[in-house]
Structure 1
């Protein structure tokens, strides 16, 4: 079984911070060509610096990927830089609590836009680019692409103050399954990674305000710790590699066993 991603071209969204940055750097370290995509141009430039040279394996794209035009520009920039797209990893997401009894839909619309509609749109548009790429190359056999969307345990947990976020995460998981079936005849695999007890950017910020949550998370996680983003990156690499060539439509949970007990009353960021 080969887990190699060397020589592949990957787009990683949400790549200026936290989990997205860890995955993008992990891919780069293992020989992939990587387009770091995020809305935070200043952080992208700061993280990549001279690494993002015109002839190198790392580039960055700054834009609001909730906007269709930005997605088109991202895909064009990636093809211009690397000639192709083999892997898409969606980690960009937003988080906001809500009042579950508030009939307004502002927060729900925001969460759906950031956590479901944006990832669905970029997945659809990337898939079309992968299909055209394959047709142009005359490829009639073998996988032509892999799409991985990052989700969280919130999709299957019930915390009323996270209702909008949870609904959006659950919708994203269902979109993964639907796209996997729709794109299977086109030889594109679609999978997800659902995380909990992993040090995301949101969790890191939350722990600065309430460090008591750290102990609660560790106590409610059978493996007894909070994992670094690099452990999530290893699973994403597997799903991007030929080692998972018969895996599609799956939501792989990386949570140290937390979802088996689910005693932690801390948001699944």
Structure 2
């Protein structure tokens, strides 16, 4: 088996910055055609600029993927650009503190919509396209697609102020397992990458607001450091490639050993 994804087509959501951007950039560097997708059109334009040429290996799509029509348009734009879809990385994530005693706090519903429903709905659309694509091409053996969901260690830890983040990420991991079983007969693999202690865009913002968090996170991580987004990109590459051809329904955890000691009260992203 090989880690190569050259010539394959991927959609990477949440790819205007941070982990999503690192994954999308890594895939392009390895010869894949990639549709960068994010709600932040200005940041996509600033990041990609003239790279998104009509004959190039990357494009970008801006829109709110919590809207069903937008998700369908993203898939259509990808097919128009590259004529196929082989890999979906749901790296679209949102972060907000939630008040567990406030039933009118709209952050909870927003986080479930952005962190869970966007991924599930887009996975359904993409899986159906992968199936019809394989039928059209007469591909009756081997895997026909890989779906990767990006979550965080917050899915397994209980921080009251991160109620919405924790629940939406935990639900996404369960959706990963459920969709893996549902799509296995169609030869589509579904896996996840869960991370903590990664210098993502959201963690960088949080560190600016909370000066003591960096030391607390490092002290709570056995490997004693905060990881780079590129390390998540390498894990996504493994799950996207044929090297993981017998892996489905798994959540690959990249946390520097942090979940082994389960430190209470330390922020998880």
| TM-score, with structure 1 as normaliser | 0.98
Note if contact 1:217-1:264 (Cα within 8 Å) is conserved in structure 2.
Answer: no
Aligned equivalent of 1:186: 186
CA shift digits 1:136-174 (9 cap, x unpaired): 111111110000000000111011111122111111111
RMSD: 1.0
Q: Which range moved further: 203-212 or 71-80?
A: 203-212
CA distance in 1, matches of 2:237, 2:9: 12
CA distance in 1, matches of 2:167, 2:209: 26
Aligned equivalent of 1:93: 93
C-alpha deviation, 1:262, in angstroms: 2.4
Taking a change above 3 Å as real, the CA distance of residues 117 and 127 of structure 1, as seen in their structure-2 partners, is same
CA distance in 2, matches of 1:123, 1:156: 23
C-alpha deviation, 1:105, in angstroms: 5.9
C-alpha deviation, 1:264, in angstroms: 5.8
Task: Note the residue ranges of structure 2 that are not aligned, 5 or more in a row.
Answer: none
Aligned equivalent of 2:6: 6
C-alpha deviation, 1:256, in angstroms: 0.4
CA distance in 1, matches of 2:226, 2:162: 21
C-alpha deviation, 1:100, in angstroms: 1.2
C-alpha deviation, 1:78, in angstroms: 0.5
Equivalent residue runs for 1:197-216 within 5 Å: 197-216=197-216
CA shift digits 1:83-140 (9 cap, x unpaired): 1000000111111111112233622211110111111000111101111111111111
Q: Do structure 1's residue 57 and structure 2's residue 57 form an aligned pair? A: yes
C-alpha deviation, 1:263, in angstroms: 1.9
- Specify the SS of the correspondent of 1:142: coil
Aligned equivalent of 2:144: 144
Give the total of aligned pairs: 269
Note if contact 1:144-1:188 (Cα within 8 Å) is conserved in structure 2.
Answer: yes
Q: Do structure 1's residue 46 and structure 2's residue 46 form an aligned pair? A: yes
Aligned equivalent of 2:29: 29
Aligned equivalent of 2:76: 76
CA distance in 2, matches of 1:98, 1:105: 7
CA shift digits 1:41-86 (9 cap, x unpaired): 1111111111100000010001101111111111011011111000
Aligned equivalent of 2:153: 153
Equivalent residue runs for 1:166-181 within 5 Å: 166-181=166-181
CA distance in 1, matches of 2:46, 2:37: 13
C-alpha deviation, 1:176, in angstroms: 0.4
Note if contact 1:151-1:173 (Cα within 8 Å) is conserved in structure 2.
Answer: yes
Task: Note the residue ranges of structure 1 that are not aligned, 5 or more in a row.
Answer: none
CA distance in 2, matches of 1:216, 1:262: 13
Aligned equivalent of 1:221: 221
Q: Do structure 1's residue 102 and structure 2's residue 102 form an aligned pair? A: yes
Note if contact 1:194-1:254 (Cα within 8 Å) is conserved in structure 2.
Answer: yes
| TM-score, with structure 2 as normaliser | 0.98
